[in-house]
């Protein structure tokens, strides 16, 4: 009876064991999406025993925090100037397009 | 004519919306400025916005040009509900998504990942390669100034396969939903998760090399 239970438990544990590769995949997934219960248990168990994956999780967290900070303040981006030549070219394009407009029919 | 008043008028008459739209676009040119002035007024702003999202000068320039032309063609649909600038940015955003869609369709990446940081076979299969185990950044000096962070991010994104960086940018910078990205780029959701996973593995490693060890 005890042996049987141990065997069952071992099998259950084996099922919950995942590789670092799978753990890294789940860490990435968890950043955008809620994990399923099973995935969540698998990941937690793996992280308990693996300091490299724990480091990976922290690194990714730091990376997405930084990206988020960056993204949420778009007006703080150092402005870059559009090249003068390109500006003139775009203006020309716009004038051409306007010429053919129904609102401004070309004089014939 | 005052834009707020017009909007109020618009609201009151929303039952006759179609007729009203035609009325507004023909009667109210004051809600939009002359298109030829757009370039001087918003050119740099839109270019900056685009450049920080696509990371390539020519692409960003073309996106700005496409945006202005699309805006010119669509100006009848401008309702004055947002500012002219916001309106132009919304058109540019659409252009950026279209750009990634084209990029993604035109380039297929090989299915296998030759740059995997995991052991490929043997009893250690699936474990981190000893040389490439992640270091814990949070214990070191992680002060990042904004501009340098951005430069490193751009560098690292540019080293990814185009398809991956497109997916990653749309998700994290444009904040599109997973469903939307899969639909726009024509990829399955499981494919999406694998791409994000691989992109992050490489980005993290790239940051470690170019930032934390610098």
Tens-digit pLDDT profile for residues B31-57: 677 777 888 888 899 998 888 778 788
Whole-number pLDDT of residue B83: 84
B109 burial (CB, 10 Å; 0-12 / 13-18 / 19+) is middle
On the CB side of B122, how many CA atoms lie within 13 Å of its CA?
A: 7
End-to-end CA distance of chain B: 58
- On whether the CB atoms of residues B56 and A82 are closer than 8 A, the answer is no
Whole-number pLDDT of residue B101: 77
- Which of A31, A79, A94 comes nearest B35 by C-beta? A94
On the CB side of B48, how many CA atoms lie within 13 Å of its CA?
A: 13
Measured in angstroms, the CA of A80 and the nearest CA of chain B are apart by: 5
Whole-number pLDDT of residue B202: 92
Measured in angstroms, the CA of A9 and the nearest CA of chain B are apart by: 23
Binned at pLDDT 50, 70 and 90, residue A74 comes out as low
- On whether the CB atoms of residues A94 and B75 are closer than 8 A, the answer is no
- Are B64 and A80 an interchain contact pair (Cβ–Cβ within 8 Å)? no
The verdict on residue A108 lying in a domain is no
Any idea which residue has 């990714």 for tokens?
A: A60
Average pLDDT rounded to a whole number, residues A4-19: 86
Domain interval for residue A50: 2-99
The verdict on residue A105 lying in a domain is no
pLDDT at A41 over 90: yes
- Are B126 and A66 an interchain contact pair (Cβ–Cβ within 8 Å)? no
- Are B137 and A59 an interchain contact pair (Cβ–Cβ within 8 Å)? yes
The verdict on residue A7 lying in a domain is yes
Ranges of chain B with pLDDT below 50: 1-30, 110, 112, 214
Cα B102 from Cα B54, distance rounded (Å) = 13
Residues of B in contact with A78 (CB under 8 A): 48, 147
The verdict on residue A106 lying in a domain is no
Sorted by where each starts, the structural domains of chain B and their CATH numbers stand as: 1-31 (no CATH), 32-106 (1.10.1740), 141-212 (1.10.10.10)
- Are B118 and A20 an interchain contact pair (Cβ–Cβ within 8 Å)? yes
CA angle B61, B145, B213 (to 5 degrees): 105
Judged by DSSP in three states, B118 sits in: strand
Cα B173 from Cα A78, distance rounded (Å) = 17
Chain A residue with minimum CA distance to B128: A20
pLDDT at A64 over 80: yes
The verdict on residue A39 lying in a domain is yes
The verdict on residue A30 lying in a domain is yes
Residues of A in contact with B197 (CB under 8 A): 24-25, 28-29
Whole-number pLDDT of residue A60: 94
- Are B72 and A97 an interchain contact pair (Cβ–Cβ within 8 Å)? yes
The total number of structural domains in chain A stands at 1
- On whether the CB atoms of residues A21 and A31 are closer than 8 A, the answer is no
The verdict on residue A25 lying in a domain is yes
Measured in angstroms, the CA of A16 and the nearest CA of chain B are apart by: 15
- Which of A58, A77, A101 comes nearest B48 by C-beta? A77
Binned at pLDDT 50, 70 and 90, residue A46 comes out as very high
């Amino acid at each position: 009876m005890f042996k049987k239970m141990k065997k069952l438990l071992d099998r259950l544990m084996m099922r919950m064991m995942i590789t670092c590769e799978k753990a890294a995949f789940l860490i990435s997934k968890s950043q955008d999406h809620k994990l399923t219960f099973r995935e969540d248990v698998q990941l937690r168990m793996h992280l308990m025993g693996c300091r490299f994956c724990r480091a990976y999780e922290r690194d990714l967290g730091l990376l997405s925090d930084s990206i988020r900070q960056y993204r949420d303040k778009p007006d703080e981006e150092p402005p870059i100037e559009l090249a003068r030549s390109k500006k003139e070219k775009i203006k020309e394009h716009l004038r051409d397009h306007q010429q053919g407009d129904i609102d401004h029919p070309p004089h014939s | 004519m005052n834009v707020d008043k017009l909007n109020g008028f618009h609201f009151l008459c929303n039952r006759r919306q179609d007729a009203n739209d035609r009325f507004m676009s023909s009667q109210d040119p004051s809600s939009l400025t002359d298109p030829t002035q757009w370039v001087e007024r918003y050119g740099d702003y839109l270019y900056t916005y685009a450049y920080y999202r696509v990371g390539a000068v020519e692409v960003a320039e073309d996106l700005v040009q496409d945006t202005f032309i699309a805006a010119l063609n669509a100006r009848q649909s401008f309702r004055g509900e947002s500012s002219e600038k916001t309106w132009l940015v919304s058109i540019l955003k659409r252009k950026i998504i279209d750009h990634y869609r084209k990029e993604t369709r035109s380039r297929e990446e090989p299915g296998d990942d030759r740059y995997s940081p995991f052991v490929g076979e043997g009893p250690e299969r699936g474990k981190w390669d000893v040389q490439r185990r992640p270091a814990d950044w949070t214990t070191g000096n992680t002060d990042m100034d904004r501009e340098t962070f951005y430069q490193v991010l751009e560098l690292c994104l540019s080293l990814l396969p185009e398809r991956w960086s497109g997916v990653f940018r749309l998700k994290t910078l444009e904040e599109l939903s997973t469903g939307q990205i899969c639909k726009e780029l024509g990829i399955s959701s499981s494919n999406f998760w694998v791409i994000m996973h691989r992109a992050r593995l490489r980005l993290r490693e790239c940051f470690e090399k170019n930032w934390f060890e610098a």
